[in-house]
A and B are shown apart, each in its own frame.
Chain A
Amino acid sequence: MMKKSKTSVFLLAPFLIVVLIYELLPLGQLVLNSFLQKKNHTITLEYYIRIFTTPVYLQAIQNSIRISLISALIGLSVAFFAGKAYFESDGKLKQFFYLVLNMTSNFSGVPLTFAFMILMGNTGVLTLLLQKTGLGGDFNLYSGNGLLLVYIYFQIPLATLLLLPAFLGLKKEWREAATILNASSFSYWWKIGIPNLLPSILGTFVCKRLGCLCNGVCVDFE
């Protein structure tokens, strides 16, 4: 028995060491530092008070929450209809769509931002096209709304991928029963489909908002 637990410790050690050095210690230090007054080493809530009373920080937090809320809501709505359409269709297109979802969800950061700059930046292809045809408004990619657009773009594939498994949980019999009871397609989704998907939708929503709050690349640029 003694020997057994020795092997266990020995085998667990590399994982624990790596995680401790590169995940737990840095995070712990980050949390600790946020409560520590640097000059005289006392515990303080000063930094937190400052964040919530300084207009610049407050504005930054508000902006983050606004963008993450709106983009997650829009991303999820599109993901819902995309998921529905995915299970109603079949064949090559379905496979291709799945491939596109996977590819674009892995693709973010600098390349994505650059692609959007080419498409809709100040001299972007779409911007010029809209100006020439006289349809162009005064859309500016390097603004809050521009940032929102990029976020919505990269929310859609991820949200759809996360929602697809939930659609598998909707049983065919429910749909049949609803049809027999004379329910319209809308009332089926409103009263049966969506309530059953809700746990996954909310999970995806929280996940997406987290991702949004923590993702910094696109913000750096804009």
Chain B
Amino acid sequence: MKKKKKKASILLLLLLCVYLLLPFAVTLVYSLFTEWTGILPSGFTLRNYKLLFFDAEFWMSLMRTMLICIISVVASITTLLLAMYVVVVEYPFLAKYIQFICMIPYALQGVILSISIVSLYSGTGTLFSNRMLMLFGAYGVLVLPYIFQGIRNNINAINTQMLMNAAKMLGCSPLKAYFKVVVPNILPGIFVSSLLSVSVIFGDFVLANNIAGNSYQNIQVYLFRKLSISSGLSSAVVVVIFLMVFLMTGMVLLLQGIHQKKEKNNGVYRD
């Protein structure tokens, strides 16, 4: 009876894996063949990838995406780490307000956030009407929920108050204790949530298209423009994006696994 049940579970998981991976598998095969009108594709070719990798525009879009990921995520982490000092050291009650502010973007998602930012600042002629700056700001806000959760979970996990007290007893000022003791201890954990944020920005099309469009073309806008030109080339772009997200996700899970093992060995528990 129990064995039968286990088999059913395994079957269900296998089916779901196939179902979830099917669109990507088909895209991968599609990008590698010239024709697929029968049951099996024909005419194996690497032409799409060759075209893609020799396209300067592709590399530029990829670099832009990377740049925007790094700047927005670093900005988000820095401002939140500074703000969390105030919560940890002086006013713990502020935590719930900061959490609320950080969770708003999670509920809003792309369209509403981008439209409200564009309608407020575009055409004002100020520094804020710069499309690039708008996009950086919008992404910085978009990843706040992930970064906040990462920072808060890690601050809870390392017994921050004890570390702060110990450092203070040894003559550190609270500021020094926070930045020299607490922050270095939580940085590895924050790295995981920043990778997650990077994959969120990597997967975003709405914000990039609504706010910047052609004036700051990221990888998804590039893909969108290629869709109408060549489906072969587009499928190659999709495969590249998928592989990058795959790599980042794999790395996040690996790091989380290592982190948890370490915690188990140290006898630290999460609450």
Q: Which residues of A pack against B, CB within 8 Å?
A: 4-5, 7-8, 11-12, 14-16, 18-19, 21-27, 29-30, 33, 78, 81-82, 84-86, 88-89, 93-94, 96-104, 106-112, 114-116, 118-119, 123, 125-126, 128-129, 132, 153, 156-157, 210-211, 214-217
Contact = CB atoms under 8 A, between A and B. Distances in A.
Contacts of B23: 112, 115-116, 118-119, 153
B82 interface: yes
Given A11-B86, A14-B79, A22-B117, A93 B101 contact: no
A116 B137 CA distance: 32
B141 A22 contact: yes
Contact of A30 (B116, B144, B205): B116
B235 interface: yes
B172 interface: no
A93 B245 CA distance: 20
A86 B134 CA distance: 42
Interface in B196-245: 196, 199-200, 203-206, 220, 223-224, 227, 231, 234-235, 237-238, 241-242, 245
A14 B116 contact: no
A101 B16 CA distance: 9
Contact of B105 (A21, A23, A100, A102): A23
A29 to B, nearest CB: 5
A209 to B, nearest CB: 11
A102 B257 CA distance: 14
Contacts of A11: 82-83, 85-86
Q: Kindly name the residue among B9, B134, B206, B250 whose own CB sees the greatest number of chain A CB atoms within 10 A.
A: B9
Contacts, number: 196
- The A interface is mostly helix, strand or loop, or mixed, namely helix
Nearest to B37: A128
Nearest to A91: B10
A125 B20 contact: no
A162 to B, nearest CB: 12
Contact of B6 (A88, A97, A102, A210): A88
Interface stretch (B54-62, B106-114, B156-164, B180-188): B106-114
Contacts of B128: 21
B30 interface: yes
B51 interface: no
B90 interface: yes
Interface string B7-48: 011101110110111111011001000001111000000000
- The list of the 8 closest CB pairs from A to B, nearest first, reads A115-B23, A26-B116, A85-B9, A214-B109, A15-B83, A22-B137, A88-B9, A15-B79
B235 A23 contact: no
A129 B116 contact: no
Nearest to B238: A111
Nearest to A105: B249
Nearest to B108: A214
Contact of A21 (B39, B115, B137): B137
B103 to A, nearest CB: 11
A68 B16 CA distance: 21
Given A21-B137, A23-B144, A153-B20, 4 more contacts: A106-B199, A110-B224, A111-B223, A129-B39
B166 interface: no
A150 to B, nearest CB: 9
